[in-house]
Structure 1
């Protein structure tokens, strides 16, 4: 799926207000990563400092810090759960998030509380695209902005 030149795989679930994608794993855990839209908003990422594996992460609380040009932001979880794993490759190569946000640039894996009860809160497919488009509208996202165009995920 494509929106304003940004890709959004239809097999993933999305948390548009967090600019994150979610992938259900076979063991019941959920992998999180920054969407192409999140990458466009942040620009080049220089560091990702995750919380410690084993910590309980509350919904809307940080699971790590993303550092980008002259600023940093908390990567907030859309889920409550235990932090099972972090992408250690990002310590040495945080640019993986920009280069392959839906693959090698994944950020964290959580064991969410009561995933079956909340999974449908995270849209996928065309429903996700509508929700992401609304988030872009609320953010006053301007795809014609030349600075944004340079950040589009490829």
Structure 2
């Protein structure tokens, strides 16, 4: 696989999984190699979830109101994901546990798309279907825009730096 930029190191997302057979029947020693990854994801996920919960306590949403805190958490988390992805693929050859810890763990625990769905469900149950639909659309569009914009800005900054 060719790197996206000269000097960039690009690896498959999960080099241990090559086919469906390797998922069903792990090779000898393969399971033991995954424990550090699972540990990194677990610790990162716990930290991200605590950060998300703390944010929701600091800026609570009233019952029946638009869930701005959940939207802000998801948009911020997606922007960080966009920046992080570019940095670890185009700029920095990270340790093999950085992506699972920060990308999957911390950012996966921080972004709260499950809470977003519960917020939408509660709005519908309270008769706020229009607000629920707005929340559905705004969250998805804002999250995608945040990833794209953050990745684009990060790439431009990296290109300026390498000139």
Higher CA-based Rg? 2
Q: Greater strand percent: which structure? A: 1
The structure in which a higher percent of residues are helix is 2
